[in-house]
Amino acid sequence: MDKSQIAEILAEIGTLLELKGEVVFKTRAYANAARTIESLGEPLDKIIAENRLGEIKGIGEALQKKITELAATGKLAYYDELKASIPPGLLEMLQIPGLGPKKVKALHDKLGLQTVAELEAACAAGKVGALDGFGEKTQANIIEGIQRRRAYASRHLVSQALPIAESLLDALRSHPDVIRCGSAGSLRRRREVIGDIDLLASSKKPGNVLEFFTHQPAVLSVIAQGGTKASVLLEGGIQCDLRVVGDAEFPPALMYFTGSKEHNIQMRQRAVARGLRLNEYGLFRSNAETRDPALRVDGRTEEEIFQQLGLHYIPPELREDTGEIALAEKGPLPRLVEWSDLKGSLHNHSTWSDGHQRPSEIAQAMDELGLAYWAVTDHSKSSFQANGLDAGRVRQQVREIKQINERLAGEGSEFRLLTGTEVDILKDGKLDLPDDLLAELDVVVASLHQSFNQSEEEITARLIGAARNRYVHILGHLTGRLLLEREPYKVNHHAVIEACAATGTWIELNASPRRFDMDWRHWPYAKSKGVKCAINCDAHRLEHAGFLRLGAGIARKGWLEKKDVINTLPLEKLRAELQRKRSRKD
Ligand code: DGT
Ligand code: CA
Ligand code: CA
Ligand code: ZN
């Protein structure tokens, strides 16, 4: 078990003890120990092996034993027993925003509530609002939180669905009776969250293919299986539909099941206006619904169907009925950015704050991946929970990065780390580090990490203030949303985009699949104002470099081309662009 997993369990023990009504100093001890372990500057294994745990402030004998047990076995009997002693419904209540252990305990003690369903009923009956320390407002928030959780539970992050879908497709491709196969639905359109996975295959023997599919190891249970279609439940709770069609029907079926529904409706109307019929079986010359093969006018590919309807090809990511059909009638659509166009990421973390690898390890890994650069932009001091850096530590880190770059140059590598910070935009709009320090760094990302509950005007003013600072290159994760977890804070996107246009500031497309922030729906406006996008991994681990691919998918949904994305530039051109705002004469 690594240190962050151990820290997580210690923090959870603190919460569980609070839920049981333990004395404050004991619950605090666990919360503090969790923070201490998470931010250790050296490997935990080493400290344990050298018997030095006791030297760390706040880690008494009882904690030492527990940490050692966790590190050695990955288990802790005390934790398992504690967890088992609490009704699972109470733990579930803790997931509702605004309900901490104290409130949950009060609900349990005073109203005897054991489950989320009972809590919802108590709220509906007005019993929770009448309790001391709760009130109408809290009660309304709890109801909203419960409803939101229910909606979240049936949706999934694309990062969860994509690997499973790809391995199922690999399996299907290996089957001798499969002619063509691919994904459709929201996954093919690269939506940020998806309801279910839709797969499509063509075959002369659909029964064999469906039988093979429903017996894949990832399939937990079969929900329905017919002659041409099966629905299954996969590991992780995602549902997956597979349809099998004849090979001639593959292109129109792919088009139909890719959607979106709204896009399909427009396409069908377009067909009707031309004396044609478009459905999942094909494109037909007919004035009535049909699937008569003699009337078919579609082709071997989706491109040919678009052509028959007088349209240039529309990439799946754009099929959202946001004007793509009208544009595809006039001419070819813009050539959208590809993930292989990306040369590096401009917002990432290292062990200096809450990342998991040192700058030297990061440099080696990203160089090996074939990237050209990678900015190390650790948190600033106000993000103390993330071990943010003060000015002194930033300067130390800059020296370390310069040495790494000198070594890389000496070895003949062209890869470079860039120095930087993800500086907090404080509650009052000021930045967490002084301008003279920011001026020494290659890349400055400015983000909000606190006071999310301010009004839209206040949040917007903080972001605009940061954009007006000449040393800030990029506004990070604009709305702070965590998909299926935390709603965005309120931001006036148009006002912020206009401020970025006026000041030459870039906006991040945070490519972490929990964020994808700024949302793809706002990028066309940013693009129309000439605001550039930085597709950033916000990497905390080496494998987060893979987010570049997911981020590019979202950028494509935002109609972005290579020229709109700043980190498609090679290093020297990027350096020139990084200087541009700083040397402006206004
Ligand atoms: P999801 O699964 O909620 O993330 O979204 P989709 O878009 O994958 O929707 P899904 O799985 O219900 O259906 C897949 C595609 O099938 C959808 O994008 C378009 C097509 N489709 C499904 N139902 C209808 C419909 O009633 N009318 C039309 N025109 N197309 C439909
Ligand atoms: Ca779907
Ligand atoms: Ca579906
Ligand atoms: Zn960050």
Q: What pLDDT shows up at residue 149?
A: 81
Contacts for 439 with CB less than 8 Å, ≥ 6 apart: 471, 582
Among the bound ligands, name the one nearest to the CA of residue 544.
Answer: 4
Q: What six digits make up the tokens of 171?
A: 């399996």
Query: Residue 367 — very low, low, confident or very high, per pLDDT cuts 50/70/90?
Result: very high
Using a CB cutoff of 5 Å, list residues around ligand 2, an ion.
Answer: 185-186, 196, 198
Show the 3-state SS of 559-572: CCEHHHEHHHCCHH
pLDDT > 90? residue 97: no
Choosing from 152, 162, 186 the residue with most ligand 1 atoms within 8 A of its CB, the one to mutate for a pocket test is 186
- Residues lining ligand 1, judged by CB closer than 6 Å? 185-186, 191, 194-196, 198, 256-257, 259-261, 264-265
Pocket probe for ligand 1: among 155, 156, 229, 257, the residue whose CB has the most ligand atoms within 8 Å is 257
Ligand nearest to the CA of 477: 4
Amino acid at 476: G
For ligand 4, an ion, list residues with CB under 5 A.
422, 538
Q: Which residue, by CA, sits nearest to atom 1 of ligand 1?
A: 195
Whole-number Å distance, alpha carbon 478 to ligand 1 midpoint, is: 30
Mean pLDDT of 516-532: 98
96 confidence band (pLDDT: 50, 70, 90): confident
pLDDT score of 151: 75
pLDDT average, residue stretch 70-81: 93
Q: Which residues contact 21 (CB under 8 A, 6 or more apart)?
A: 105
Please tell me the distance between residue 242's alpha carbon and the centre of ligand 3 in angstroms. 9
Predicted confidence at residue 43, as pLDDT, reads: 86
Confidence bin at 485 (pLDDT 50/70/90): confident
Helical segments of 42-200, H only:
44-49, 61-73, 77-84, 88-93, 101-111, 116-124, 135-153, 158-173, 185-188
CA–centroid distance, residue 248 to ligand 2 (Å): 23
Question: Burial code of 72-93, b = ≥16 C-beta within 10 A, e = fewer?
Answer: eeeebeebeebeeeeeebbebb
Q: What is the mean pLDDT of residues 39-56?
A: 88
Four-point Cα dihedral 558, 511, 432, 566, nearest 10: -60
Q: Is the pLDDT of residue 153 over 80?
A: no
Residue pair 197/234 in contact (Cβ under 8 Å)? The answer is: yes
Share of the chain above pLDDT 70, in %: 100
DSSP 470: T
Q: What is the reported pTM?
A: 0.84
Quickly tell me which residue has 């206006």 as its tokens: 273
The answer to whether 168 and 213 are in contact (CB under 8 A) is yes
Tell me the residue length of the chain.
586
* Tens digit of each residue's pLDDT (9 = 90 or more) over 527-578: 999 999 999 999 999 999 999 999 999 999 999 999 999 999 999 999 999 9
Mean pLDDT to the nearest integer, 458-478:
98
Q: Which residue has the higher pLDDT, 486 or 318?
A: 318
Residue 66 phi, psi (nearest 5): -65, -45
Question: Are 513 and 547 spatial neighbours (Cβ–Cβ below 8 Å)?
Answer: yes
Ligand lying nearest the CA atom of residue 536 = 4
Per-residue tokens: 39: 């931010």
Burial class (CB in 10 A: 0-12, 13-18, 19+), 55: exposed
Q: Is 239 exposed, middle or buried (0-12, 13-18, 19+ CB in 10 A)?
A: middle
The 10s digit of each residue's pLDDT in 181-195 is 999 999 999 999 999
Give first-to-last CA distance, the chain, whole Å.
53
Give Cα 581 distance to the centre of its chain: 29
The number of C-alpha atoms within 13 Å of 218 and in the hemisphere containing its C-beta is 21
SS3 250: helix
Maximal C-alpha separation, the chain: 83
Q: Comparing 427 with 485, which gets the higher pLDDT?
A: 427
406 Cα to the center of ligand 4, angstroms: 26
Least confident of 38-42, 140-144, 569-573: 38-42
Ligand 1 atom 23 nearest Cα: 261
Q: Whose CA is nearest to atom 13 of ligand 1?
A: 185
Q: Among all ligands shown, which has an atom nearest to the Cα of 388?
A: 4
At residue 347, the 3 state secondary structure works out as coil
Measured on CA atoms in the order 393, 394, 399, 401, is the torsion positive or negative? positive
pLDDT tier at 514 (50, 70, 90 boundaries)? very high
What residue owns the CA closest to ligand 1's atom 31? 261
| Spatial CA neighbour of 158 closest among 233, 238, 229 | 238
> What average pLDDT score do residues 72-83 get?
93
Q: Which of 158, 198, 267 is the best mutation target for the ligand 1 pocket, counting ligand atoms within 8 Å of the beta carbon and taking the most?
A: 198
- Between 20 and 204, the higher pLDDT residue: 204
Instruction: Give the ligand 1 atom nearest the CA of 268.
Output: 29
Work out the pLDDT band at 40, boundaries 50, 70, 90.
confident
User: Letter for the amino acid at 210?
Assistant: L
Q: Which of 87-96, 185-194, 332-341 comes out lowest in average pLDDT? A: 87-96
Report which ligand 1 atom has the smallest distance to the Cα of 187. Answer: 8
